[in-house]
Structure 1
Amino acid sequence: MRMRLGCRLSFQLPAPTPMILLLNVHYSRASDLERPDLLVTEPAVAIEAYRDVFGNWCNRVAAPAGRFVVSTDGLIRDAGLSDPVEETAEQYPVERLPSDVLTFLLPSRYCESDLLSDFAWGRFGETALGWPRVRAICDYVNRHVRFGYEHSRATRTAVETLNEGIGVCRDYAHLAIAICRCLNIPARYCTGYVSDIGQPAPYPPMDFAAWMEVYLGGKWLVFDPRNNDIRFGRVLIARGRDAADVPLSHSFGHHDLKSFEVWIDKATKTDDLPQERR
C-alpha cells in the first residue's frame, strides 16, 4: 500500500520568532519513504535539522514576523497491516527491564503517575498481568473520557483528564500512560498519522494523532486508547515521555495558529508529483 501524507500549518507572528518543528516521519520509517516529506517554509528560511535525545527528527527555524507557513508532503510505502495484537505478551518485572526503558516508568510533566498510584492499583491491581492489563486500561480510558476538540487544553494533565472525563487524543494517551507506569509497565507517548483506511465513511477532518507504546514481552507494542480499535496506516512522527517532549511546533514567543491541515490517504498516480494544498 502507498500513502500520501503531509501537513500545512499557517502562523501569524507579531515578531521574529525562533521555532522548533517536529513534523517529519520518524527515522524508523525513512526507508519506506518514496518521496521524503521535506519541510518547506513560506517565506523560505534557513532550516537546521537535528536529532533530539529520543532520536526524533527536529527542524529549527527563525521565523520572520507576519504570515509564516510550514508544510510537508511525502509518499510512503506501508505493509497495510493493522497494529499487532500479541495477547500473550508478558509484563517483565522491573529488575528484568533494560536500563534504557526505566525512564518510561517515571512521572513526567503530563503523566503524574506518582499521584495516580492508589487509583491505578485499586482499579487494575487484580487484572491479569501483561497484555490483558494494558487492554483493560485502554478500555477504561476509552469509556471514561469523552472526546471533543472543544475540550482541548494544552496544559491538561493525566490527573485532570481523570477528574474531568473529557479531552482529545493526547489526553487519552497521557492518562493511559500514567496508569501503566503506576503498575510498573513502561509506557511512552507517540505522535503521528493514523489513516481512516478500513474505517466506515463519513470521515472527520484529518488531524495528527496521539497514542502510546508499551513495553511488553521484550519489545514496544502500540496501544491506542482514543480509537481503541483496529487501525491501519499508522505512521510515527515522534515519541517521548509525554507531549512536552514532542510538540509538533514549539515557538519561543507568541504565535497565532491561523490554519491547520493534515492528510494521509491511499496514494493515486497523480500523487507521484507534489501537489500544493491550501
Structure 2
Amino acid sequence: MKLFAGCELLYDVPAPAPLVLMLRPRSGAGQWIISEEYQIEPNIPVVEYTDLYGNLCQRLVAPEGSFSVQISLVAETADRIDVAPGAPFVPVQDLPDDVLQFLLPSRYCQSDRLGPLAVDIIGDATPGYDQVEAIRSWIQSHITYQYGTSDASTSAVDTAEKRTGVCRDFAHLGISLCRSLNIPARMVVGYLYQLKPMDLHAWFEAFVDGRWYTFDATQQEPRGNRIVVAYGRDAADVALATQYGAMTLTEMNVWVEEKI
C-alpha cells in the first residue's frame, strides 16, 4: 500500500536550545520512501548524521520563540509482515557481529532480571520464532494497554510487575524477555496505518533464522503497512526528539493515510 504519513511538532523555546531530531525514515525491508518534505520554521541551519544504528538524525539549535518541525512523506509499504513459525534459534556463536549488542541488558530492558518469567511463558515452544511469538502473545493477553500508567522512566521490569503500559512498554518487555533467552531483540519506532488512536508507534523485532522479524504485542494479529523511522536497543536510542534546554512541546500531530 502507498501511504501518506508525517508528523508536526510545535515548541515554545524560551532561549536558544540544542535539539536532535530523528524523523526521517530510510528505504529498507518492507518500505520504499518515494518522497518526503521536511519543513522547519523559522528556517535555520541543520546538520544531518547517521547514528550507530543507521538512523538519520538532524542536529540543530532551536531559536527563541515559537518553533515548528514538520515532516511529510509518501512510502510504499508491505501489506503484510513476514511470519515464520518454526524458524530456528540462532546460536550466539553464529550471530553476526552487529547483532550481538542486541543480546545485552539496556537502560529500559533489564533482560538479566526476567529470565524466570521468560521460561514460564515459552513453555515447550520450539526455540526461535515460536518462542518469540509465545512472548508476544503472552504480553498481548496479560498486559493491559492503558494511557497514563507509565512514564519516561518505566522499565520492562516495572511493566512485568504492574501489568499495564503503552506500546513502548509492551516493546520493552518483549525485547527483555527475548534477550533473556539469548534471542537478539531491538526496539522499533515508526508509523502504523489505521492505528487507533493515531500516534507514533513502537514495536520490536527479534533475530531468528538469520534475519529480523517484526512482533507487535499491541495487536492481536500480524499487521503490515508500517513505516519504520528508527531502530535501537530501547527507547533511549530511538527518541524522535532529544532536547538539551528548557523548551516545551506544545502540540504534536501525527497522520497516516492511504495515498490514492
Would the TM-score normalized by the shorter structure come out above 0.5? Answer: yes
2:235 counterpart SS class: coil
Query: Per-residue displacement from partner, 1:49-95 (whole Å, max 9, x unpaired)?
Result: 1100111000011001222111101112234x211111121111212
Match in the other structure for 1:111: 109
For structure 1, the 5+ residue unaligned runs are 197-202, 269-278
Match in the other structure for 1:190: 188
- Whole-angstrom distance in 1 between the partners of 2:29 and 2:94: 29
1:96 to 94, 97, 114: 94
1:212 counterpart SS class: strand
| C-alpha contact 1:21 1:59 (8 A) present in aligned 2 | yes
Match in the other structure for 2:232: 240
TM-score when normalising by structure 1: 0.88
Match in the other structure for 2:12: 12
For structure 2, the 5+ residue unaligned runs are none
- Superposition pairs of residues 18-97 of structure 1, within 5 angstroms: 18-28=18-28, 32-36=32-36, 38-79=37-78, 81-97=79-95
Could you list the structure 1 runs, at least 4 aligned residues long, displaced by more than 3 angstroms after superposition: none
By percentage of residues, which structure has more strand?
Answer: 2
RMSD: 1.7
User: Are the structure 2 counterparts of residues 34 and 125 from structure 1 closer, same or farther at C-alpha, using a change threshold of 3 Å?
Assistant: same
| C-alpha contact 1:41 1:70 (8 A) present in aligned 2 | yes
| C-alpha contact 1:213 1:223 (8 A) present in aligned 2 | yes
2:137 counterpart SS class: helix
- Superposition pairs of residues 140-179 of structure 1, within 5 angstroms: 140-179=138-177
Match in the other structure for 1:210: 202
User: Are the structure 2 counterparts of residues 101 and 29 from structure 1 closer, same or farther at C-alpha, using a change threshold of 3 Å?
Assistant: closer
| C-alpha contact 2:25 2:229 (8 A) present in aligned 1 | yes
| C-alpha contact 2:17 2:61 (8 A) present in aligned 1 | yes
Match in the other structure for 2:136: 138
| C-alpha contact 1:6 1:72 (8 A) present in aligned 2 | yes
Give how far 1:255 is off: 2.5
| C-alpha contact 1:27 1:56 (8 A) present in aligned 2 | no
Matched, 1:249 2:235: no
- Whole-angstrom distance in 1 between the partners of 2:122 and 2:76: 39
TM-score when normalising by structure 2: 0.94
- Whole-angstrom distance in 2 between the partners of 1:62 and 1:56: 20
